[in-house]
Chains A and B, each alone.
With several copies, the nearest count.
Chain A
């Protein structure tokens, strides 16, 4: 399936782009992380410490083991610091 993958804040900076479109068969966010980390050292570095990474699927916060079936957009970002 085709997915838009978005990055924010320091994840965006480490990966070097705010978004990319990828083809994947990943069933869960965790599988997608493994695929992305295998692409190059920048993805690997940005996604190395998952305790510092938050995920949204189609603009809703999600867990690492959430299924990707039907998803169109997945975003990775650090813990939020709003307010």
Chain B
């Protein structure tokens, strides 16, 4: 049961080692920086120190209650992230797979549209556009 915000890279495998022990079903999601057909060399991720940690912990606790999780973990990076690097991960552990899957999707939908992070593209020539919010991400929240 932990939310973490950090600039350092993380290793998904290491984060999942021992996670969900005693539980039956473990789901993980991780997001990686895509190169967008060569347009990107990195992402710069800004966040709101203080609010971010509180928001992630609140979403995690809400998911744990709603889906009866045995355990959960949220990790999100900020700063400059090169193409191919992991941006963030969530992991959920529950007795059965349906709860673990639903909780992971719920967490992702909330993180995408309600956690205070903003992505900016860094191209070969330097900083480019701020990534626009996707209507699908906003719509995804309405299912919960």
Contacts and interface: CB of A to CB of B under 8 A. Distances in A.
Q: Give the top 7 A-B pairs by smallest Cβ distance, nearest first.
A: A82-B117, A79-B133, A59-B51, A9-B118, A83-B112, A82-B115, A83-B111
B54 A8 contact: no
Interface residues of B, number: 27
Nearest to B114: A80
B94 to A, nearest CB: 14
Contacts of A8: 46, 48, 116, 118
9 contacts: A59-B51, A77-B116, A79-B133, A80-B116, A81-B119, A82-B76, A82-B112, A83-B76, A83-B115
A19 B119 CA distance: 19
A6 B117 CA distance: 14
B108 interface: yes
Interface of B: 31, 46, 48, 50-51, 54, 76, 87-88, 97, 108, 111-120, 130-133, 137-138
Contacts, number: 70
A9 B119 CA distance: 8
Contact of B97 (A6, A75, A80, A83): A83
A55 to B, nearest CB: 11
Q: By DSSP majority rule, is chain B's interface helix, strand, loop, or mixed? A: mixed
| Max chain B Cβ within 10 angstroms of own Cβ: one of A61, A75, A81 | A81
Given A59-B50, A59-B51, A80 B31 contact: no
Contact of B87 (A10, A78, A80, A83): A83
Interface string A60-83: 110000000000000101111111
A56 B50 CA distance: 12
Given A56-B48, A56-B51, A83-B31, 4 more contacts: A78-B130, A79-B132, A79-B133, A82-B119
